[in-house]
Amino acid sequence: MAATSADLADDGFPAPRLFSQGVSYTYDDVIFLPGYIGFPADAVDLSGPPPPRLSRRIPLSIPCVASPMDTVSEAAMAAAMASLGAAAVVHCNTEPDLQASIIRAAKSRRLPFVSSVPFFSPASTPSLSDFAGQDYGLVTERGDSLSKLVGVAVAADVSSRQAPVPVSEYMHPAPRSASASFDFEQAAAFLADEGLDYAPLVSDDGEVIDLITVSDVERIRSYPKLGKPSLGADGKFVVAASIGTREGDKRRLEQLIKEGANAIVVDSSQGNSIYQLDMIKYAKKMYPEVDLIGGNVVTIAQAQNLVAAGVDGLRVGMGSGSICTTQEVCAVGRGQATAVYKVASYAKDHDVPVIADGGISNSGHIVKALSLGASTVMMGSFLAGSHEAPGTYEYKDGRRVKKYRGMGSLEAMTKGSDARYLGDTLKLKVAQGVVGAVADKGSVLRFIPYTMQAVKQGFQDLGASSLQSAHDLLRSQTLRLEVRTGAAQVEGGIHGLVSYEKKAF
């Protein structure tokens, strides 16, 4: 006998019903009921059409964004994320000049990496430690990237020497340079065609920006094939940047925009403030061509004010981040599943894409964030253990880890060259975040494509062939959800085993 329509209507809750019960749900609290699979997982196209958007005018080909945190997003992360079709938001916990130079470094190339190759002048006598772990150094007339390249120093040549000798005496003559506008395949072909082990990358203006080596090529070839990169109208990588809401941030904003930042994130834990609204109005008036992302918000009322002020994107999440103590310290915030659903259900009517920020610790959380209405997810801890995150690996209890800290941690606040806290030395500082460490995850160029494959499998289970179709399932109330009890969450995880090895790919 066929199921009655009452039976079907009662089988799980549609989102509006689940999220209107006065309960704050996290991603782990909720679970989707499967839909109908009418296509293979590889037919799921996360790139659209329409594509996921960082903000109104910035399409991406994968729905991932690196958070504006000083242990997550600098040049290497920005270049890698853009080359994957995602994006990074360069943090502002540094002098504006340095933030601008990070953007310049990421936008100066079309390769998925930024190496920290050292520069030397011909008369300098670098020791091995001056190579900072790099195999090569670039020798230029003045010892900086803006003067003429004269040679390449090999670290192994230094280690075999007793006394310090000017680098000009043992450097190798500069080989033919590759153009900084080459993409990965072009640069790899250049090395192969010229029979070179390495080639400096030089911009049209003559700036020596990096060195590409055969081992870089081999490393990148060992990862999944790169997809469509995120490129702006200028043909350069899409790179976003964050600012604060102090008077001095207006100068920072000007500098970032001059540097070509494609979108600006106004970075506050509570975006519905007079300071942010004033900053948004100022920025929209001064730079109407640049997309402005406001936040953070978790309610419709907050979102409404930012949308009225003209934002092109909304960052959603308060207290859900892995390093966040805001809910504990300030008693405000919202469960992230509820926050994303509520804000996205409002923002969609204003064509404002939502970034689900914080609390992503697995691919299932990404499926949930996107299916609840977000256009992209923003991640901190998920990316902080990668090769591309700032900082070096250390060992903790035998595990290789990288430092990861909240931007509201005491350590990050006091590092901040920002007037935000230095100007407020008389005020009492209270942390809203912690300093921690995350495990080594290898390169984002490897684990993000695998994560996206897992997201595609989740979408297939729901019967969604794209982001748009997931949003359609949500809005037509075809998508059904339930709350998981504590026991259901235990059951849904790994349980009852004496030991196991968890290896996802």
381 among annotated binding-site residues = yes
Question: Apex CA 318: angle with CA 297 and CA 91, to 5°?
Answer: 85
**Shortest spacing between CB 495 and ligand XMP, in angstroms:** 24
DSSP 231: B
Instruction: Verify binding: residue 324, K ion, rule CB under 5 A.
Output: yes
The number of beta carbons lying within 10 Å of the beta carbon of residue 84 is 25
Cα 391 to Cα 4, 39, 98, 225, 377: the distances in Å are 59, 42, 16, 26, 23
Assign residue 71 a region: left if phi > 0, alpha if psi is -120 to 50, beta otherwise?
alpha
Residue 323 interacting partner from K ion, ligand XMP, ligand NAI, none (CB closer than 5 to 8 Å by kind): ligand XMP
- Rounded CA separation 99/114 (Å): 15
**Shortest spacing between CB 79 and ligand NAI, in angstroms:** 22
Which residue(s) pair with 481 in the sheet? 13, 32
**Is residue 324 among the annotated active site residues?**
yes
359 among annotated binding-site residues = yes
Instruction: Verify binding: residue 250, ligand NAI, rule CB under 6 A.
Output: no
Residues in region 421-480 near ligand XMP by CB under 6 A: 432-433
- Rounded CA separation 155/130 (Å): 9
- Rounded CA separation 394/443 (Å): 16
Within 360-442, residue ranges assigned H as helices are 363-371, 381-384, 410-415, 419-422
206 among annotated binding-site residues = no
- Rounded CA separation 180/473 (Å): 44
Residue 181 interacting partner from ligand NAI, K ion, ligand XMP, none (CB closer than 5 to 8 Å by kind): none
Residue 291 interacting partner from ligand XMP, ligand NAI, K ion, none (CB closer than 5 to 8 Å by kind): none
Instruction: Verify binding: residue 269, ligand NAI, rule CB under 6 A.
Output: yes
Cα 319 to Cα 27, 192, 270, 331: the distances in Å are 13, 50, 10, 9
Which residue(s) pair with 482 in the sheet? 31
- Rounded CA separation 247/190 (Å): 47
Q: Which of 313, 319, 385, 390 binds ligand NAI (CB under 6 A)?
A: 319
Instruction: Please give the size of the binding site for ligand XMP, defined by CB under 6 A.
Output: 26
Of 57, 420, 475, 484, catalytic:
420
Residue 451 interacting partner from K ion, ligand XMP, ligand NAI, none (CB closer than 5 to 8 Å by kind): none
Instruction: Verify binding: residue 67, ligand XMP, rule CB under 6 A.
Output: yes
Going 88 to 94 to 96 to 102, the CA torsion angle's sign is negative
Q: Using DSSP, state whether 89 is helix, strand or coil.
A: strand
> CB of 114 within 8 A of CB of 79?
yes
**Is residue 315 among the annotated active site residues?**
no
Of 324, 334, 446, 480, catalytic:
324
Question: In terms of CB distance, is 46 or 324 closer to K ion?
Answer: 324
**Stretch in the footprint of ligand NAI (CB under 6 A) among 163-171, 318-326, 444-452, 485-493:** 318-326
- Rounded CA separation 492/462 (Å): 17
- Rounded CA separation 322/382 (Å): 9
- Rounded CA separation 81/359 (Å): 19
One character per residue 281-320, x = contact with ligand XMP (rule: CB under 6 A) = ---------------x--------------------x-x-
Instruction: Verify binding: residue 96, ligand XMP, rule CB under 6 A.
Output: no
391 among annotated binding-site residues = no
Residue 151 interacting partner from ligand XMP, ligand NAI, K ion, none (CB closer than 5 to 8 Å by kind): none
Phi and psi angles of residue 4, each rounded to the nearest 5 degrees, phi first: -80, 160
Question: In terms of CB distance, is 26 or 255 closer to K ion?
Answer: 26
Question: In terms of CB distance, is 326 or 465 closer to ligand NAI?
Answer: 326
**Stretch in the footprint of ligand XMP (CB under 6 A) among 56-64, 252-260, 276-284, 374-382:** 374-382
Q: Which of 358, 390, 416, 458 binds ligand XMP (CB under 6 A)?
A: 358
Residues in region 373-432 near ligand NAI by CB under 6 A: 407-408, 420, 432
Residues in region 350-379 near K ion by CB under 5 A: none
Helix 444-462 vs helix 75-84: crossing angle, to nearest 10: 40
Paired tokens of 233: 């109208």
**Shortest spacing between CB 169 and K ion, in angstroms:** 56
**Stretch in the footprint of ligand NAI (CB under 6 A) among 151-159, 239-247, 389-397, 490-498:** 239-247
Residues in touch with ligand NAI (CB under 6 A): 244-246, 267-270, 273, 275, 296, 317-319, 321, 324, 326, 358, 407-408, 420, 432-433
What residues form the annotated binding site? 267-269, 317-319, 321-322, 324, 357-359, 380-381, 404-408, 432
User: Which residues does the annotation mark as catalytic?
Assistant: 324, 420
